[in-house]
Amino acid sequence: MIQRYTRAEMGALWADENRFRKWLDVELAVLEVLGREGVVPRDAARKIRAKARINVKRILKIEETTRHDVIAFTTSIAEQVGPVGRYFHYGLTSSDVVDTALALLLREALVVLRADLTKLDDALVRRALEFRELPCIGRTHGVHAEPTSFGLKFLGWVAEFRRQAKRLDSAIEQVSVGKLSGAVGSYGALSPSVERKALELLGLVPEDVATQVLPRDRHAEVFCVLAEIGASVERVAVELRHLQRTEVHEVEEEFGKGQKGSSAMPHKKNPISAENLTGCARLLRGYAVAALERTGLSSAARTRRGPRSAGSARSSWARAPFRSVSPARASIGCSTLRTISNTSIRSTDVCWEMGSRKLRKLARRFLEAEDGQATTEYVMLMAVLVGIIITLGKVFRDRMVSLVKGPVSNMLKQSFFRPGGVHKFPISLK
């Protein structure tokens, strides 16, 4: 967060201590439900709640060794609670805790902003009524047009921010969703019933279908709404900046006692508040783009970045490791997917062989050039390296096929096809 523009209330909400406290709330909610169902001792959650304290310095110190924030957090709690700590984090994966806690934080932050919009609405309505009979010149293209009412400006802002309030209400609903379905969302350790009951304790609802993480389109919606609210704020700020120009001078910002406008020109009263609002609104639009870029993370987090890519999932909003695609392209891509036994594994060999052929072809093209000898040697070296990688890829393919036919197949049968039927996801595909 940018400290200069951070209010104390919002800064405290996003501080490390509160973030870890939300993690603890998620962990304890799960333990509470597991205790009721007899999976862990009934008093496990109570004992941990009584002894556990958030020690940010200790967590960060442990993380220097573990290089994993959730493991550092669980280790810190286990150190404090004694033997009962063996049940802490039972059946959960890191993203269960991080993403569900993030939903709690986002909801809390958005509720604060919703209250601010109510206050803004009251202020704008009051001003609109105050200035409804005050005449002013209307402008189009910045040029004098026809007389209008100064209160009409405020009334337009009232209507716009009320539309934004409705969008924010929808965003709060969309983000109030959690996920406790375990690794890759398969309910391998906790059942949908435990997930639903634990999330009820937190005031959340379960995600319809989750993967390793909560779908990032929910977060993207939040940031798009925030960017829209920022755009509305900027509209007000730009108008007020214009009206404060010396040659217009229809309004003035409040200038506090001792406030200065310039180190060289003490007579100046700059529209600094309006300028700050404009700058912050532009930042919000940038964050919205980053959030949209992250929507592809939902299914790619643990496949395109390796088995332990949680770091990218919990990176700052300014990072966008994966590109999103248009709905049309996504539709085409999904319709052409193949899920037949070894197709996806063997496609790796095909890709590498195609790359090797292209490199050899490129080498021949350079040989025909007058001064391409040095470049050709480099390309041929690359072709040899690709050949080595092809060999390794075939070995990997064979090992993967045997793994899918053996232990993985048994694991899936034990996870999904238990006595009593298949785990049902809470979404209908009919």
Catalytic residue check, 141:
yes
Of 141, 144, 249, 267, catalytic = 141
Give the span between the Cα atoms of 55 and 247, in whole angstroms: 57
Cβ partners under 8 Å of residue 246, min gap 6 = none
Give the span between the Cα atoms of 130 and 144, in whole angstroms: 23
**241: three-class secondary structure by DSSP:** helix
Q: Which helix (H) or strand (E) holds 26?
A: helix 16-36
Give the span between the Cα atoms of 187 and 201, in whole angstroms: 19
List the structure tokens of 367.
Answer: 């040989």
In angstroms, the Cα distances linking 339 to 336, 409, 423 are 10, 15, 21
Catalytic residue check, 193:
no
Cβ partners under 8 Å of residue 323, min gap 6 = 293, 296
Give the span between the Cα atoms of 4 and 143, in whole angstroms: 36
**283: three-class secondary structure by DSSP:** helix
Q: Which helix (H) or strand (E) holds 1?
A: none
Task: Work out the end-to-end distance of the chain between its first and last CA atoms, rounded to an integer number of angstroms.
Answer: 44
Per the CB < 8 A criterion, the answer to whether 48 and 30 are in contact is no
Of 262, 331, 347, 409, catalytic = 262
The alpha carbon of residue 205 and the mean position of all alpha carbons in its chain are separated, in whole angstroms, by 18
Cβ partners under 8 Å of residue 156, min gap 6 = none
Residues annotated as catalytic are: 141, 262
